[in-house]
Amino acid sequence: MTPQRIADRKVPDFVDRLQAEGRYTFTRTDVRETLGQWNAAIRGALRRLDKVGRIVRPREGFYVIVPLEYLSAGSPPATWFVHDLMTYLARPYYVGLLSASALYGAAHQKPQEFQVVTDRPTRGITMPRVRVRFVVSSRAGETPTKEMKTATGFIRVSTPEATALDLVHFPSAAGHLNNIATVLLEMAEQLDPRELRRLSETAPSVEVRRLGFLLDLVGAEDVANPLRTFSRDRPPKPLDPGAPQRGSRRNDRWMLYINTTVEPDEI
């Protein structure tokens, strides 16, 4: 039997065994350690499995197993593999922004991409029906997170309070102010005012003030009130830094120029 035929038997068996054990990712190192080799025949067998949709490769040397129920979709959800992927890349991470909001139940508009925050620029991932966007934050390894169970293990997700602050820190990734307000409307009951106040100590004052204004706007004044100290003795700043400021009224509670109209979607 030729090396290629041997590999075409061994590699699918290896993938089937992993899935039977509840594992849906593997690396080049896993293949080498289990099969005792990494050669052209093994690579050819993996390419054939990729071609028929049994596996996908979001990164060089990292593979995701596609179970039967996701065969037509082309890949399982990002929640199935993102923790293993970031472990493979040896990078801090957390699921954040709109993806974190959706996991907390604020899914009025389903995110078009799965958003992961990490510490340095990282090329995004595009697979059938799965798109992963990496957002860079120097505090990716320090942001408070919670572990959420998934079908294959767990993922790290920013806490509701950290998520709220990230939404105003990364407005373009969060769909801008109208969408941020909509998300906050849905998440407000999950925000702990004291924890939000504590985390705000290390955030830019203007972003905390913008968050406070948006919380007021959606009727969450009890959550916003502890943030008022961040507007004391501060020069006024625009609510929307990308919009003209001339002629806008000043909100003295948050020391902001309200230079745009924010309208959350109806829930």
Give pLDDT, residue 140. 94
- In angstroms, rounded to a whole number, what is the distance separating the alpha carbons of residues 125 and 135? 12
Give pLDDT, residue 39. 84
Give pLDDT, residue 2. 72
Residue 157's beta-bridge partner residues? 95, 146
Give pLDDT, residue 6. 57
Taken in order 157, 134, 173, 252, is the CA torsion positive or negative? positive
Record the pTM.
Answer: 0.92
Residue ranges, the chain, pLDDT below 70: 1, 3, 5-8, 107-109, 267
Q: What is the pLDDT of residues 32-81, one digit of tens each?
A: 999 888 889 889 999 999 999 999 999 999 999 999 999 988 899 999 99
Give pLDDT, residue 5. 66
Give pLDDT, residue 80. 96
Token pair of 208, please?
A: 């905390």
Task: Check: CB of residue 86 under 8 Å from CB of residue 157.
Answer: no
Give pLDDT, residue 261. 94
Give pLDDT, residue 1. 58
Instruction: With CA atoms as reference, report the closest residue to 200 among 208, 188, 189, 190.
Output: 208
Give pLDDT, residue 171. 95
Give pLDDT, residue 10. 83
Classify domain 3-70 by CATH number: 1.10.10
DSSP reduced 3-state for 16? helix
- In angstroms, rounded to a whole number, what is the distance separating the alpha carbons of residues 169 and 64? 32
Cα angle 124, 63, 116 (rounded to 5 degrees) comes to 30
Q: Where are the domains of the chain?
A: 3-70, 77-158, 161-267
